[in-house]
Structure 1
């Protein structure tokens, strides 16, 4: 009996030790999960800002923070894994709800309900003629005209681009593009007239086909003027525009809202539009979604082909040893619902702080 009692005593001792170890592990993990809770609360705060309505989403640093909403899903996913490993049920539930909400917001980037985007021809098969229904289009913010003109022309040739829009262009860039031979592939152009509120330069639009009409000032806007060219494609006339509203920096926030609202007025215009450029806003900004309204769609959000981040580009840290990835999707191809834009692609262009965004347009999709 004495041996049996000793065995029971030993088991009790082992259980006490195991309980002590568990308590010690819990105490050591407590600071970690406190940090994870704080991170989750910060994510929730960003998500609340994302729901700020149009007109109020341009206050202070709200638009800058909201631009990074897509990355909150990554933060929530990592925190959820840690919560599951640590058996923190409440934290896991909150992270799951955050993650599901973020996935719902960005479902169009994951899955497309428009099967027409899968039926577009390959880039290599595009003929480059205006008589058909297809056209490869491209937009690029040239960073005060510093983008590599030869690379722009080379990309236009390789991608069979028929419509090119540029932002922040200047006389020097236009001359370099001409010298690089852009006129031989895109002979028609519309250059917006300089104004007192240009942001970084003027907007420019090039086309392969002769436009049926052009204007250097499509809408009244407190930003660089919007040049437009209407081109006949198959049985339809498409009006292309190069846009660049102000960025939402604190000193520009009133101009940022008013610029996007000015573009939104095109919803009542009877013409068929494809608007391309640096919108200085993302799908998560209420002002951008207001611009789209019920009429326009953002090609990136409709394609189900993930995000096409365009800014920043060509940025490095620590003397060039660390390359900064593109983090936000501020360059867009916005179009009427009756046409299709797919096969999206980004291209890094030397000299610019934005990537070029390309897509294939089907006007009879």
Structure 2
């Protein structure tokens, strides 16, 4: 007797059936929308940064992270090219070009003026309201032997502790205004300090003093601590605290400290345009990050808000940043040559 047998479909046959054309179109359309949104965001960010327009104070915070957005901007053109979306590829490469214009100069050393005068080493540090162990700071002072040290958030107990650590043996001259609540500021120097003054305005303390070198050259040094563009009164205080800083021209001047601004902030670029050069930028180290570092994982995004601005007649030889214990800012050391 013959048996009839039923042949079933092989297992997994359904998975070999190609998706319908409508599904492919929907997937591609969804990818196009996401890609367009990413490209538009990068173009918009680059355009805002290049124009210098800062529409609201939150942008003043966000624009600090432009270097990280520049890295993310590499994704859309690669995605668009791989999926053969050629018009989007062109737009995405336009965004990358914007960020290249913004960031590449910071990575390339600039030409130096023909300065042949004495060397001046400038060290600066925000002490996080005095939390930095003075022993750690003195270790760096002994290591780098600065001619000038500017300090911010110079708390009331810091002068005594520095004196006990022997700061007078290395930096015997000072103009210091110790205060609480992160308002204190100081300028220490190896050479005589005179004409000290507090800069006007509300917010953290900022001070200036004249340092006279052995050959008689005089350099005005400003210990900078601008307000933070965070919230409330500090937002209103932030831009004016930078605009109150003295512009370049006339006597030689060096501004050093916590500007609470990066090179992506228009207000800082406008100050530099008066005749200064940013030391990190001038040495091709403009992407050296300085904040925040205390108890932050390595992958947490950092930004560059601590600067040394030198009169454009001064040659910038070197710039470096050093991480200290119990501080959210990094110490910076800058080597200058006076004209």
- Per the TM superposition, whether the score is higher than 0.5 is yes
The aligned residue for residue 353 of structure 1 is 328
Quote the Cα distance in structure 2 between the aligned partners of 1:79 and 1:360: 40
Quote the Cα distance in structure 1 between the aligned partners of 2:24 and 2:56: 44
Residues 239-250 of structure 1 mapped to structure 2, 5 A cutoff: 239-250=220-231
Provide the secondary structure at the position in 2 that maps to 1:315. coil
1:208-231 CA distances to partner (integer Å, 9 max, x unpaired)?
1122x23131x3232333322322
Deviation at 1:207, TM superposition (A): 0.6
Provide the TM-score with structure 1 as the length reference.
0.79
Deviation at 1:303, TM superposition (A): 2.0
User: Alpha carbons of 1:36 and 1:216: their partners in 2 closer, same or farther (altered >3 Å)?
Assistant: same
Paired positions, count: 322
User: Alpha carbons of 1:36 and 1:173: their partners in 2 closer, same or farther (altered >3 Å)?
Assistant: farther
Quote the Cα distance in structure 1 between the aligned partners of 2:18 and 2:59: 47
Quote the Cα distance in structure 1 between the aligned partners of 2:329 and 2:91: 35
1:3-51 CA distances to partner (integer Å, 9 max, x unpaired)?
xxxxxxxxxxxxxx99979987775455445333322222233233324
1:57-93 CA distances to partner (integer Å, 9 max, x unpaired)?
3733120011111222101113322222222222221
The aligned residue for residue 65 of structure 1 is 62
1:159-213 CA distances to partner (integer Å, 9 max, x unpaired)?
222211111110122222222222221111111365xxx86231111111122x2
Deviation at 1:52, TM superposition (A): 5.5
Match among 183, 191, 203 for residue 168 of structure 2: 183
1:108-152 CA distances to partner (integer Å, 9 max, x unpaired)?
2122331569x99xxxxxxxxxxx711221111111111121111
Quote the Cα distance in structure 1 between the aligned partners of 2:22 and 2:146: 65
The aligned residue for residue 275 of structure 2 is 295
The aligned residue for residue 209 of structure 1 is 191
- Residue 95, structure 1, aligned to residue 92, structure 2: yes
Residues 2-17 of structure 1 mapped to structure 2, 5 A cutoff: none
Match among 141, 144, 155 for residue 159 of structure 1: 144
Structure 1, unmatched stretches of 5+, are 1-16, 121-131, 317-321
Deviation at 1:267, TM superposition (A): 3.6
Match among 69, 76, 100 for residue 79 of structure 1: 76
Residues 97-112 of structure 1 mapped to structure 2, 5 A cutoff: 97-112=94-109
Maintained 8 Å contact 1:222/1:258 = no
Maintained 8 Å contact 1:283/1:289 = yes
Provide the secondary structure at the position in 2 that maps to 1:136. strand
Provide the TM-score with structure 2 as the length reference.
0.85
> Root-mean-square deviation (CA), in Å?
2.9
The aligned residue for residue 171 of structure 1 is 156
The aligned residue for residue 271 of structure 1 is 251
Quote the Cα distance in structure 2 between the aligned partners of 1:71 and 1:232: 41
Quote the Cα distance in structure 2 between the aligned partners of 1:324 and 1:142: 23
The aligned residue for residue 314 of structure 1 is 294
Tell me which moved more, 246-255 or 106-115.
106-115
1:211-269 CA distances to partner (integer Å, 9 max, x unpaired)?
2x23131x323233332232234463111110111001131222111111111x4346x
- Residue 232, structure 1, aligned to residue 226, structure 2: no
Tell me which moved more, 236-245 or 89-98.
89-98
- Residue 304, structure 1, aligned to residue 284, structure 2: yes
User: Alpha carbons of 1:267 and 1:359: their partners in 2 closer, same or farther (altered >3 Å)?
Assistant: closer
In proportion to residue count, which structure has more helix? 1
1:316-354 CA distances to partner (integer Å, 9 max, x unpaired)?
3xxxxx444452111100111000223111111111111
Maintained 8 Å contact 1:224/1:245 = yes
Quote the Cα distance in structure 1 between the aligned partners of 2:150 and 2:230: 24
Maintained 8 Å contact 1:202/1:224 = yes
The aligned residue for residue 312 of structure 2 is 337
Maintained 8 Å contact 1:144/1:170 = yes
